[in-house]
Structure 1
Amino acid sequence: MDTIWLSGDQWLAVLRIGLGLWWLESWRHKDKKAWFERGSGIAWAADVAAKHRWRAVRAGFETVVAPRPRVLAYVVVYAELALGLGLVLGFLTPVALVGGLLLNLVYFVLMIHDWAEQGQNSMMALISAVGLFGMAWQSWSIDAAVGWF
């Protein structure tokens, strides 16, 4: 069967790049001053975690995030930037896909009560899984250019 316009590897690259652009947009639209100086993102997450129906989420937040809100604000914001750049450029793509999948799962579990947000997290996680198992770094990537993976 003839392929139409792009090969399968190239379509996976389109999907990977689109996901990377999604992460970059998530990074771009964040009010970094509020996140870093006032801890707004972590404060919002603390409020969500405190009301979460799963005790493990509340306990995990109190153990991991609450003692170091400033550090984790930087981790979240710059993780989104790193994921976006890694996926758009195809640099360490499997690492970026696994990292994005894990970050989306954290977001999904934290916001399980807010079904409006779950569509985005579910689709981003699905694209990460498809990209990972489809080896979306085979075309249009730094990884392919240097022969990694």
Structure 2
Amino acid sequence: MQTMWLGGVEWLAVLRIGLGLWWLESWRHKDRKGWLERGTGIAWAADIAAKHRWPFVQRGFAAVVQPRARLMAYVVVHAELALGLGLVLGFLTPIALAGSLLLNLLYLVLMIHDWAEQGQNSMMALVAAVALAAMAWQTWSVDAALGWFL
């Protein structure tokens, strides 16, 4: 493989780190006080789920998320932080990439009617899938330094 400036594994690390920075930005701009103290994030998502075109989303949200709204708010906020840190540092990277792919697919399905969300979440899911399949933790990562997942 020929590349410019960096080798293939380094470009994969750049891709992984970029995805991590994207998750950290998502966490950084989130109104955490609103999400964690007032429940604004889950209330917003509940409104979207209630009007969703696919009944399984309405039923799933009502069965899984709404009864545990406070817990789910903490899960979402802290998952975004954990994914961002894990991908930037390359720590437990395959787990972070699988989590990133799963969370983006969940966001994509919930926000299927919103073109901007479709673009962002589909691209983040694609980056996670490529980075996972290409083992993007082979360089510039804590995992590589510890000899994990090689």
What TM-score results when the alignment is normalised by the length of structure 2?
0.97
**Which residue does the alignment assign to 1:104?**
104
CA deviations on 1:25-76 (whole Å, 9 max, x unpaired) are 0000001110011101000000000000111000000000010100000000
Secondary structure class of the residue paired with 1:12: helix
Gaps of 5+ in 2: none
Q: Deviations over 1:76-122 (max 9, x none)?
A: 00000000000000000000000000000000000001112111001
**How far apart are residue 2 of structure 1 and its match?**
5.0
Aligned equivalents of 1:3, 1:16: Cα separation in 2: 17
| Structure 2 letter corresponding to 1:27 | W
C-alpha RMSD over aligned residues: 0.9
1:106 maps to amino acid: L
Which residue of structure 1 lines up, in the alignment, with residue 126 of structure 2? 126
Partner of 2:67: 67
Structure-2 residue corresponding to 1:115: 115
Q: Which runs of 5+ in 1 are unaligned?
A: none
What is the one-letter code of the residue matched to 2:128? Answer: S
2:17 equivalent in structure 1: 17
SS in 2 for 1:128: helix
Percent identical residues: 77
How far off is 1:3 after superposition? 4.0
Pairing of 1:61-100 with structure 2 (within 5 A): 61-100=61-100
- Number of matched pairs: 149
Amino acid at match of 1:16: R
Matches within 5 A, 1:21-32: 21-32=21-32
Residues 140/54 of structure 1: CA separation in 2 closer, same or farther (3 Å cut): same
Which SS does the other structure have where 2:112 is aligned?
coil
Alpha-carbon distance in structure 2 between the residues aligned to 1:85 and 1:50: 32
Question: Which residue identity does 1:124 align to in structure 2?
Answer: M
Q: TM-score, normalised by structure 1?
A: 0.98
> What CA distance in whole angstroms lies between the structure 2 residues aligned with 1:11 and 1:115?
28
User: 2:45 corresponds to which residue?
Assistant: 45
Runs of 4+ more than 2 Å apart: 1-4
